[in-house]
Structure 1
Amino acid sequence: MSRIAIHPLESAAGAAAAVYARITQAVGRVPNCFAAIGQLRPAALKAMLQLDGVLAAGSLSRQDQETVKLVASEAAGCDYCITAHSLLGALTGLEAPTLRRIRSGLRTGDARRDALVRFVRRLAHSRGTLAEAEVAAVRAAGFSDAQLVEISLAVAVATFTNTFNRINDTEIDLPSPASAAGALPFSTIA
């Protein structure tokens, strides 16, 4: 059970009700993470969804975005976000064995994705400025400088929900990747 009680969504008013309506329209329901954030700080939830919209409009593929968020969530130890980004990754076409390998930092058989995983893992587990070789390796894999900004933004979005869910111990209410065919990514909300 989550530490922050979620009020019935039907009782939401004002900004919370508005953002919940957008989420429900886009994905069919409001996940527990979004419900808890939205009832306490609707503007924070709206800002997070807008950032996801910025990512969706960028050049980083959906699979790459979910790879970044999954690696960041694994590094943070956020069970809710690991579940969410495994689900969303599956919806982008990443297969279950690939998702498990991404989480473990093992090779996926896709050199570009593997470079992204290594880069984000290094970023998540290091302090200070990354070595030039780390940046050069991700660039050599085909990621542009603009995509480095998008990778940073994806890490920031994931870090926000990772942190909140770790504080809240948010109850996982998401379907398994195998049972979620047809669901929409959250970035369609922004």
Structure 2
Amino acid sequence: MIVTTATIVPIQPETATGVAKDLLDQVQKGLGLVPNMTKVMANSPALLKGYLALSAAVGSGSLPAAVRERLAISTAQLNGCEYCLSAHTYIGSNIAKVDAVELDAARRAESSDPHVAALLRLSNAIAENAGDVGDDAIGAARAAGVTDTEIGEVVANLALNILTNYFNVLANVENDWPVVGL
């Protein structure tokens, strides 16, 4: 087993000061806990503030939590982020109440719901092609009933998920969720 250490050391809420403390207090108040990812992000208050703002924005959109969690799982699998795969599998199961079969299918950008499957495939196509998806990908999504609003929200969710995936992989954030291996 290879043991790695964090690239960026987490800031503990009890020793945080200034803006970092305020942001970690906000996380605690909102979630009832402070995940390791946000402790590490607190080294850059601008990053943590941006993450929290984007997370709140996508959370207020039209895509339900069950869909957003599957989008996060699909992107985490694509980007090799075990932290996010673990976190969103836990949240998807325990908070969004998505069944285990659907959570596992999301890892492959699949769903038994054709509309959700279209959203997952579109998200992966956007990620894999840096946004340069052809008319076929958009046409397939539209044929499954995906709206312009949802297309925009897929991009917003993808931006949020790539942000956390890349950050967690780069910083080697210690996984504080029940581990789901890649």
1:1-190 equivalences in 2 (<5 Å): 1-38=5-42, 40-90=43-93, 91-105=95-109, 107-127=110-130, 129-175=132-178
> How many corresponding residue pairs?
175
Distance 1:12 1:101 in 2: 39
Q: Is the 8 A contact 2:82 2:179 kept in 1?
A: no
User: Which of the two has greater helix per residue?
Assistant: 1
Q: Is the 8 A contact 1:63 1:92 kept in 2?
A: yes
Secondary structure at 2:107 match in 1: helix
Distance 1:88 1:8 in 2: 23
Distance 2:112 2:127 in 1: 22
Q: Is the 8 A contact 1:15 1:43 kept in 2?
A: no
Amino acid at match of 1:36: V
CA apart distance, 1:14: 1.0
Structure 1 runs of 4+ with >4 Å offset: none
Amino acid at match of 1:8: Q
Q: Is the 8 A contact 1:78 1:165 kept in 2?
A: yes
Question: TM-score when scaled to structure 1?
Answer: 0.85
Segments of 5+ residues of structure 1 without an aligned counterpart are: 178-190
Amino acid at match of 1:152: V
The C-alpha deviation readout for 1:73-118, integer Å capped at 9, x for no partner, is 111000001111112222212111211111033x432111111222
Question: TM-score when scaled to structure 2?
Answer: 0.88
User: Which protein, 1 or 2, shows the higher relative CO under an 8 Å CA cutoff with sep ≥ 6?
Assistant: 1
Q: Is the 8 A contact 2:6 2:171 kept in 1?
A: yes
Distance 1:24 1:74 in 2: 27
Distance 1:7 1:113 in 2: 37
Change over 3 Å in CA distance of 1:113–1:130 after alignment to 2 = same
Amino acid at match of 2:10: I
The C-alpha deviation readout for 1:115-155, integer Å capped at 9, x for no partner, is 12222222222356211111111122222112111110100
Distance 1:58 1:136 in 2: 22
Q: Percent identity?
A: 29
CA apart distance, 1:27: 1.4
Amino acid at match of 1:5: V
Amino acid at match of 2:51: M
